[in-house]
Amino acid sequence: MALLPILEFPDPRLRTKGALVDPAEVTTPAFQTLLDDMFETMYAAPGIGLAAAQVDVHKRFMVIDLTEDHSAPMVFINPQIVDKQGGQVYQEGCLSVPGIFADVTRADTITVQYLDRSGQAQELTTDGLLAVCIQHEIDHLEGKLFVDYLSPLKREMVRKKLAKARKHVA
């Protein structure tokens, strides 16, 4: 397994909409290795979700694990939200926007259809943190970031703060 570089805002590659994954590709050794590498990268970051777009792979899949002991890894391939209900405000962060958190309104309960790691069709109805995480990662697959929910002024402040932080690291 290998750690993959995570793209950071405002990298324009984060704005690329992901293409559907060919179901025949899902069970190939190369795709399975990429999933393992994404989990390793997400855990090392550390994070609870990682979309393919964040590691410069512009296809529609993501990995999620909400557990602290990494015991519940989930793979969502070609996810599509087919029902949304309610609304909640949740403070979100993102591995592509390090150190920044902001309130985002998301559906409280969602139903998502997707292929799992073995290529089997699944449907999941969920709420709470998992629902928020799925919506956040699907946004990445659409080329959208949580900072897009902020006002233009706040988004520019985030961009400047990250640019300043990068200068101090260099």
Residues recognised as catalytic: 137
Distance of alpha carbon 82 from the chain centroid: 18
- What CA–CA distance (Å, rounded) separates 90 from 130? 12
Indicate the burial class of 142 (C-beta count within 10 angstroms; 0-12, 13-18, 19 or more).
middle
Q: What's the rounded Cα separation, in Å, for the pair 148 and 143? A: 10
Residue 140 annotated as binding?
yes
Count the residues in the chain: 170
Cis peptide before 46 (omega within 30 of 0): yes
